[in-house]
Each structure stands twice: as C-alpha cells, then as structure tokens.
Chain A
Amino acid sequence: MADITHKTDEQLIVEKHIANLHNGFAHWPRAEEAPPALGDSRWTQDLILATWLMAETGKPPENGLEYKIGASGGGFDVLDFNIPSEDQWLPADTEIDLSIPLNRRDDGAQLKINIPMYGGGMSYGSISEHVMQARARAAQHLGTFTSTGEGGYPPSLVPYKDHIITQVATGMFGVREETIQYAPIVEFKYAQGAKPGLGGHLLGDKATDVVAAMRESVPWVSLFSPFPFHSVYSVEDHRKHVDWIRTTNPRALVSVKVSTPTDVDMVAVGSYFAGAHIVHLDGSYGGTGAAPEIAKKNIAMPIEFAIPKVHKYLVSENVREEVTLMASGGVRTAYDVAKAIALGADGCVMGTAELIAIGCTRCSNCERGRGCPFGLTTTDPLLQQLMPADWGQQRIVNMYNAYAIQLRDLLRKLGLKSIRELRGRRDLLKYVG
C-alpha cells in the first residue's frame, strides 16, 4: 500500500477511481456474463469489449467476442471478404507490408506510415490534454500521425511534433505560423462528416478557462467555427490557401479533409489539382458526439459509398497514383480498414476507435464539460486525471498492434503481400446483407 499520508483527498479519490477503472477495462471483456447496457448497433457491446481487450493485450480476441463487424445491418457490416481456399494462402512466414506512402506527388517530403492508419483531428477542449498526449505518443511509437484538431497546439505536444498533423480549420483557433511550421502535414478541415455544412462547434459548457486560454477566446461561450472558410469560396481560393501554407512551411504535405456530399468526387479532384497530397473523406458515421443534436442527425453520404465513387473518379481522371486517399467516419475495426481500402482508399483515419481503446463506452455525453465518466472528452482538471497519458498511449499502441496482426492475416489469406495491393480490389469483397 502506498504511503497515503501525504496525499490529498482528491488524489486519493482519483487513484481509487483509476485503479477501479483499469481493473474493469482489463477484466470486463473477459467476464463470464456479458456486462449490460454497453454500446449501440454500430459500436456493439462486443466491439467495445473486443477493442478493450485488444488495447489490453495487443492481440485479437480469442474468447468469441465479435471483433470484425457491428450490428448496424448496413455499411461495412454487410460486406465481407471472399477468402480463397487455404491452398492459395501465402505461407505463414511471408512478410506482409502494411506501410503506405502519404505523398505520391514528386514534391515535398516522401512521408510514409508504417500502418495504413493515422489519428483523426480531435481538438483540445473536445478531448483532454492527456488524451492528446496519449495519441501523440502512440503515433510516435507506431510510426504514424495524429492530428491536433482545431483547438490549439498544447506545448506539451511539441516534443512529438514530427508525428502531429496541424489542422487548419475554419475558425483558425490556435493556428499560428509556428504551429504550421511544426507540422510535417497540414490538414485543411473544410468539413466533417458528423456535421457537414457546419463548422466546428465547441459547446459553451466545454469552453472552460483553460480551453478558452488555448484558443485565446472568451471562457464559457460556445465557439463556432464558421462554415466555410470565409477566405475560400472557390477552388482558386483553395489553391491560394494551399500556396499560403506551403510558403509558410515549404516541407509540409497538404491534406484536405472534406465531408461526403454527392459531388464529393469533384471536390476530391479539385483538391488534388490545387496541390493536395492527401484527400481525406470524412463520412457520416463518425464524430466524437461533441456536436449539437441537430447536426448529429443530419449527416453526409456514408463513407462506403463515397470511397469507391471518389476512387473511380480519380482513376478515370488519371490522377489516382498521384494522391493518397484517406477515409474516416465510422471506421471501427481492422476489418473496416481493410474493407475501406478494398473499396478504393489508401488508408483510414481513426478517431472513435482510439477513444474506445482508452475507455470510451459511447455513452454520448461528450458535449458536456463534465459529462465523460472516463475523463476523456473533458478538460475538467480533476476528471481528466482518470486517463493518464502513459496508460492511454500503451492502450492505443496495443489496439493498433492487434489491428496489424489481423490485417497481415487477412492479406496473407487473400494472397497479397502488401496492403497497397488491396486498394480498389472490390472483387475481393462480397455483400452479405
């Protein structure tokens, strides 16, 4: 027993909660009887428990939990792979490459990530600084990236800057010349699938003193980012916007994050011609939940429709090999990642899955300042202590390691030596709805 005599009551309470939570996350997925009231049809109880187990062990579950699909009755849940007979599998010791290039143009740094996934933008304020640190350190460990979201660049993240994407969104909160210059990749967030047609929206409840200080705004006032960029009303403005970032930081790659309206294919090609290295499609299932109800219910095209539409169009325009296409918005599992890639993406951008790994239960209380029982989507100084960054880092790394095992296994069975060979192989998918 630790020496408790020098600890405050608050510290003792936090320690007790952390111990109980960690104990719960470790044992719950292995419980004999399924615990009640977790999840929803997209993120089922099994998926959440399986993600917790992967985050604990670094391996795919072996206890019967369904870790590949949810129960939505649509989307990725009604797609499966045509696995050939065993005699066509590659030998078990085949080296399978999961890396993808992020820059397919001939300008700028030739960045590559070791796994076909990186972390999506979640702002300081929507999540805690501990969560940001955990994500950044995990990205560094894994050889991939995470994104600042639109809420500033906490100084505690600067040591990991080579693995952090600076997001430039319509409110320009926390974006400074310096934070643009830190970044190997700058991401323009034109829209997000969770609330297309709206800018970022941090509800007043979450704009605490520290969040407002980071954004240099006024505490307790809802922070709306405009929609769209008032400096970008056309593709030639966008081109100028890209040129600005590339002047400020000539080595940065440019990612353009857009939601999935019906003309998303045109948007993607326009972004490419304006100089984007990465086109990032954000479909409708995603989002932290830190959005107004009306926005959460009025959403864009599902990502599994948008990916092939854009992929095919890029192919027909002869530019598919010049641009990296990333997908996000409801990508929950290693199998979702593989399906998105088979539909035509190069890789996926992950958000909610990382939060689940560190304890999220999808209780949807994210828009409240103290709503998160696990200290994730909060900046409350007390609550955020419930998720220590080093613990979170390891959980996220473990989850991706478990994903990597699954992806390699799948590719081997499909007879593919590299995740890059899977791209656009819709012939390997079947509809099982």
Chain B
Amino acid sequence: MNNDLTRILTSRAKLPRTNLAEFNRDEAAEGGCGVIGMASSERIAARHMLAALAQMSNRGNGKGGGIAAVGLDAAEFGVSPDVLHNDYLLAMAYMDPAARAEVEAQYIHPVFEIDHVREQPHMADYTQITGLDVRPPDVVLYFVRPKAEELAAFRAEHDFVNLPARAVEDEYVYQNSFKINTTFYASLGEKRAFVLSHAKNLLVLKMVGYGDDVIRYYQLEDMHAHVWIGHHRYPTKGRVWHPGGAHPFIGMNEALVHNGDFANHASISEYLAQRNIYPLYLTDTEVAVQVFDLLYRTYNYPLEYVIEALAPTTERDFTLLPADKQRIYSMLQSSHIHSSPDGPWFFLIAQADEGGQGEAVYRLTGITDTSMLRPQVFAWQESTVDGESVSIALAASEKQAIDAAMLSLAAEDPRFWSRTDRYWNARGGSHTDGGAFLFSVHDDYKTKPKLVLTNKFGEPVKQPTRRTAYDRAAYTPAPAALPQGAASEQFAWALEQLPGWSYQQLQDFLAGVEAGAGDDAGRARAIELLSLLMDRRYPTGSLRRSSLVSLVDESFARVMAAIRKTPSAGYAYHVYGAGLPAPASPAQALVLDAQGYPPQGDDSVGREVQRIVAAGFRHIIIINLRGQRFIGNGIGTNTQDVHIHTYGSAGDYLASGMDGATITVHNNGQDQLAQIMKAGRLVVHGDVGQTFMYGAKGGSAFILGNAAGRPLINAVGKPRVVINGTCLDYLAESFMAGDPLNGGGFVVLNGVMFDEDGQLAELETPYPGSNLFSLASGGAIYVRDPHQRVAAEQLNGGEFVPLSEADWALILPYLEENERLFGIPLARLLEVGGIPRPPHKVYRKIQPGSVRALQAEEAWVTKAKTPTASGGH
C-alpha cells in the first residue's frame, strides 16, 4: 500500500472520537427525498432551483432541506476571483451565536490566514416562512488559507513525505473541520455549530425546512453558480431535527444529496471505521459521501472506479464489459463490496475538482444503484450564442422538476427555452452507460467555461443536435395562409414545408393556426394540429426540435388563453377555485387549467377530474400541469366514453386504477402510471417512468418511447401494451397474463426510436437488461428483434418460440393502431435494412418456459364445473 495513503489514514486516528455507543444508530433513517441538480456553462441563479424545489415539495416533509453550489461568482461574495479560486471557503453554521467566538478562537484564527469574512444575509424573521419551526443557523463564510507553519507542522507530524501540497492542505482543512464538528456539534447534547462546507469555490447551505426555504431564508435568489444541487428530506422519525442532519453532506471537495436509503449503513460505517473515518451525523448519506471522498481523494481512484466501487456492474452486463475492464472491476468489487451501498439510492454529487493545466472543474455527477430502484431523469439543452456554446444539463428524481427549472430559466433568459433537447435515464450498473453521468464545467479562468457530458466510462454523451436553436429575438409574426382541410392534412402540409422554414416562417405558420381557431371547428382543428406538432417526431429541416416544440407550446397556450377569454359551446374553461361547471351539452369539452392546483389531496387535479366527470363532461383537456399526481384515478367504471388529454408535466400515478376511460399524455409520463389498470386506454407520446402498469389487469397502452424499470411487474389478466422504445430492465417480471392467444395479455417491444432527423431507427438492441420476463407464468413478449440480439440468458424462465400466424393476427391491429397514434409505419417496422421481411423474421415471441411444474394436487383436485367467482365485473 502506498505509504502516504497509509499515513493519511493513520493521521486520522489521532482525531477526537465520537461517542461510539451511538455509532451504529441510523438515527435519521431517510426514506426517499426529492433531488435536483444542474450544471451549466453559464452561472445560473438560485431562483431557478427554487422553482424546481418548490414544485417537488411533496417529496419532502419540511424536516430538512439544503443546496450546494459550485463555481460561484466572486463579486457576489465581495472577494476577488483569485481569492474565490484559491481560498478554502469555510462555511460555518452557528445555531448558538455565542459559539462563533469560541470556534474562531480555537479553530479559525490560530490556523488560517483569513482573506475575507462574510456574514450570510438572511430574512429577518424566519417565521415568515410557513412551516419553518426551527430557527435556521446563522451562517458565516470565511475565505481562508491554512497558515504555512501549521501546514509544515502537520506534514512533519504525520510524515507526509511525498504528498503534494494541495493534498496536505485538503487533509488539514478536513481534519480541522472534523475537530470543529466533534467539539461543537456531535458531542452529546449540545449542537451549537458545525461546518456546512469547506472546499474551494463550493458552498453548502441547509436547515430544518424545505430545500426551497433555504434559498428564501438565506436570500439566495440572485446568487449564481455553475453547478447546483438541491434536496428535500423526508426523515421518518424524530420530533427534533437539526440542520446538520439535512442534505447535502460533505466530504472534502464534494457535497452529496441522496434519494433512497441503504440497508448496510452499519457495514459501511464499519468499513470506514477501519480506515479511521467516523461519520458524525448518523445517516447513510453522510457515510456515502465519506466513501466517495475516501476513494476519490485519499485513494486517488479515477471517477470511473469510484462509481464502480459504489454501484458494481453485475449479471450479464459484467460479461459484456471488455476483458481489461472485467479484470479491474472484479478487483474493485472484491475490495469494495463492503463499502458499496446496498439498497435503493440515487446520488447527486456536486464537486469542486481540478482538471489539467490548473483549470477548475465544477462537476455534477448522478449515479443510480445497480438495481435502479429510485427514479432518475437526466436532460440536456445546448445552443450556440455568439459563437460560444451555451449548455445546461440537469438530473432529478422526476422530470417535472427539470421542467420547472427550465420554464423558470426560459422565462427570463433568452438563451434557454423550456424543453431540453434530450431526456434520458441511466441504466444502473450497466455496461452501456454505467448508470452514471458526469456533467463537468471546465473553467480555465480565461475563456468561457465549457460543459462536458460523459457517462461513467468517460465516453462523451452524444451532442443532442447541431441544428440552430431559436434565438428568441423579438419578432411579430404575420399569420400565414394555411391550406383548407382537416388538421391531419394541414399537418402533412406543414411537414412538407418544414425543411425549408426559418423560425420566422414557423411562427407565421403558428400565427395562421391561431388565426384559424376562431370558431369551435377551428379550435378543434388547431388543438389537434398543435398536438400533432408536439407529439410526433418528424424532420425539422434547419430548426431544432426542442425550440420548435417550445414555440408550439407557446402557440397552444395562446389558443387556450383565447378559450379562457371566450368560452364557447364547444369549449368551457375551468380554473382552480372556480365553481364546478356543468356541460352545456354532452359534446362540450372542458379545458381544465391545472395552474394552482395542489399535487394531491381533496383540492388536487385528480379529485377535480372525478368531480368533472361526475358532472357529465366526457372530453377533458388538462393544461399547465406542473407535476400534479393521480390524474384519472377514481373516475369509475362507467367511463368508456371519457377521454382525458394532458399537456405539461403530468405527475405520478396517472391512469392508476383506470377502468374504462382513455387518457392521452401529450408529453413524457412519470412514475407509477397505470398501476392496477383494468380497462381503457393509455397513450403516452413520450417515455414512462418506474413500475409502469404494476399489477395491471387489462386495458391497452401505447408508449412512443421507453419505459424505465419494472414495467408490467405482476401484471395479470389481459393488458395489451406496445412500447416502441425499450426498458431499463425487469420488463414483465412475474407476468401472469394468461394465454395471449386466448384472451390473455402481451407486450410488443419494438426497440426503435426516432433520431434527431426525425427518422425511425433501430436501437442497438431492443432490450439491454439482464432480466426479461423473469418468473413469468403467463402472457407473452413480442420483441422486434430481426438481428436476434436478445439472448436466451436475458430471459429468466422465459423461452423463445417462433411467431405463429395466430400471434401475428393478434398483434397486427395493435401495430396498426400504433401507426395511427405515433406515425410509426407498420411497413417500416417490417423492414430490415430497408428490405421488407415477413413478420416471423422480424418479431420473436417470448413465452413462459417450464416454470409451471405439475402440482401434486392438480391431478386429483375436483375440477370446478363453473367457476364460483370471476375476477370481472
């Protein structure tokens, strides 16, 4: 073992010990939480974080929130750029104002050269923030450098012979903070002060409250940083909470927020204790960041290896790694399995790092656990402004938080627009992306900082698009003349024109659409046409899709605003707080403006939809959704003629329990869609999240994009589903949906996507995961796999069988409907390399294998003559 490494670990043995009786108590026992992070080539104001966190507040309970910022603006702190870049920013939280003098006298003045001290401003009265019942700590920021003589003594004392100066300095600051915390915070009873953060150019603020409260209380709205992470905590127990228990937690040069929890907190604590590291706050999250700091700073592992040690590559994915990686990963796994968090977790890490040639790297890293048990979404938007790249990448526990941040940003900064170019999920512990993405802002202090996106393996994330973004210059469009005809005909016409259009021509066209929406027929046509422009994937010529669709969103909003202003026989408009409307006629559609509705509870959109359906509306258009949950839940069985459309960010559990109605999601869906769905139809013009159709009994669903983890788990009966993309893993685990050729259920997995040119393309493999149709006893998967890329070892109990005529007759109508809904031509699906092929050469059928042993009882139990009970109604 490297001597300096041993010496660092040994040096920590001299640190004061915490009370070991408390050592293994997982006091906080986090449950889940809401997390969001962003990294940008620009410095982004905290108010955009506030918008995202405020919208996600139902992921916390107000008992802990915090933010971390990396890549700060020197002027905002009253220091020179040199001081910001070179000094340690020691952020002290004082719960007891009297502690300040003691901390400074013992641990700051004697050991640091102080270049600047700043008292963090805050609201005069914390009780002005609803729900805040613990006074947040006073925060003092010290820009400091360890004194040369202190460093020399420290180096000599611990015999750090060859350790670089920066490593000695870091360790010195780290141990000094540990001493502050053990003296003033972790000691029994008293909790008077603690270190919020101590890295260069990195600041953590946290308290007992929501994450957005931190921004409000410390008046950070106008503070700017290249990298942000934010967190709402949902601790499950304790009446008394302390800000030290809130996220983010720090190591040395990083801050970590965490959604989930792990089962082996005690084991990891033990692992750290063997290396003289004693966490002070008794939560799994702190332990995680200490492991990260140990592996990255002390062991000097490359980030790839750190990530592998945290989230090991397993199962089939491991066998698909190159041989040299297998060798190294195998060593990492054997060495670090005891420090690998076991359980559901998703980490966001904000890091103040160094690159080559003295440049600073401000990094946001998102890592999911190998089993992908927590939801996670990544997004990226990039454009060129004045010849320079303007880029932002985000990661969050749900997409609506990303949407909220981007809407907030787009509203005031013309370089950004509301939809990002790409949204994607990481596949935990995989050979494809490693389950982690690193968004690094490189700052050489001379030129404009650059954002570089890579996966765990250091492979660059493919640039979303080269097409020009809309520059949002002021332009007054002149309504263009549209051809007469139905919306579908106008849409076809627009697609023909689009390759030649500029943004101005597009805006003229949209103005023409709006001008034509004067009467009810025109409104219906405009809504359908604009929806097609949002939903479909098509060539956009020189225009960038995300910009184009953002303009369509704005046009759609104007059509809705006109309905609000002038309701008609065909369209009524309903807002939060207004009296429940009654339909003027059975055909009248209702536009439900979701703005202001809470995400759950009696006042929620979900409950309002129940009331609206009960009032007799059959056609409901929900707009301005900001993550509200439970849409279409509880509307009952007699709803076959109800059609609900959702626009904006529809939240979790949409269509869950649905028993007859149709819901069309004109965007991506989130988590837990269509749980236990019994009947009806769900159409999603995008991706769906975790545990899609868990325990479903029936109904049909059409998904344009991908499903995340565990779609169709434990589904029974006769659900019929077309997923055009793929899934992260565990598709149709324990599927029990009878015999598809005899009324049972199935999933068609097409394994295709639209590329950025709007062309249909095959994915590298229709199914990348190791667990397809595991333990299934009924139903079938029909996978489009003409190149036979799905291997038998990916099936856990299932088996490939040839596609029969009857199978094709069964799925054909669903593929035809799929074409009608998404514009994915059946003929194209049956082409392989441009050549039409017969269905059985393109689709493969997976059915349950020999899971069903002959049961001893089966042979002699009395057969029921007629079933005494049926699951139907």
Contact = CB atoms under 8 A, between A and B. Distances in A.
Interface of A: 124, 129, 152, 154-156, 170-178, 180-181, 204-206, 208-210, 213-218, 220-221, 223-226, 230-231, 233-240, 243-244, 246-250, 263, 265-267, 269-270, 273, 313, 317-318, 368-370, 380-383
B553 interface: no
Given A250-B607, A381-B864, 4 more contacts: A173-B695, A178-B637, A216-B718, A239-B234
Contact of B861 (A152, A170, A247, A370): A370
A81 B31 CA distance: 40
Interface stretch (B172-180, B477-485, B656-664): B656-664
A370 B859 CA distance: 11
B58 to A, nearest CB: 8
Contacts of A221: 736, 777-778, 851-852
A177 B678 contact: yes
B805 interface: no
Interface in B823-862: 848, 851-858, 860-862
Interface string B234-271: 10111100000000000000000001110000000000
A213 B718 CA distance: 12
A234 B869 contact: no
Nearest to A383: B862
Given A230-B691, A243-B629, A250-B607, A178 B873 contact: yes
A57 B694 CA distance: 47
Contacts of A237: 31-32
Contact of A317 (B30, B61, B237, B637): B237
B646 interface: no
Contacts of B676: 172, 175-177
Interface of B: 26, 29-34, 58-61, 234, 236-239, 259-261, 344, 373-374, 600-602, 604, 606-607, 629-630, 633-634, 636-637, 652-653, 656-659, 671-672, 675-676, 678, 690-691, 694-695, 697-698, 710, 713-714, 716-718, 733-734, 736-738, 775, 777-778, 848, 851-858, 860-865, 867-871, 873
Contact of A244 (B374, B653, B690): B653
A235 B869 contact: no
Q: Which 5 A-B pairs have the closest CB atoms?
A: A172-B695, A234-B32, A235-B31, A270-B236, A177-B657
A176 B736 contact: no
Given A244-B630, A248-B657, A382-B862, A216 B697 contact: yes
B868 A224 contact: no
A369 B861 CA distance: 8
Contacts of B601: 243, 246
14 contacts: A154-B869, A172-B675, A173-B716, A176-B697, A216-B738, A218-B848, A236-B31, A244-B633, A247-B630, A247-B633, A249-B634, A318-B239, A370-B860, A370-B861
Contacts of B653: 240, 244, 247
Given A171-B695, A236-B33, A225 B714 contact: yes
A223 B736 contact: yes
Contacts of A174: 871
Contacts of B869: 124, 129, 152, 154-156, 210, 213-214
Contacts of A370: 857, 860-861
A154 B634 CA distance: 20
B447 to A, nearest CB: 42
Contacts of A235: 31-32, 234, 236
A209 B866 CA distance: 10
A235 B374 CA distance: 12
Interface centre among A156, A223, A233, A266 (most CB of B within 10 A): A233
A240 B855 contact: no
Contacts of A369: 855, 857-858, 861
Nearest to A263: B29
A396 B604 CA distance: 42
A267 B29 CA distance: 10
Contacts of A172: 675-676, 694-695, 714
Contact of B862 (A124, A270, A318, A380): A380
A431 B864 CA distance: 52
Nearest to B709: A230
Contacts of B717: 216
A247 B607 contact: yes
A267 B237 CA distance: 8
Interface centre among B718, B775, B867 (most CB of A within 10 A): B867
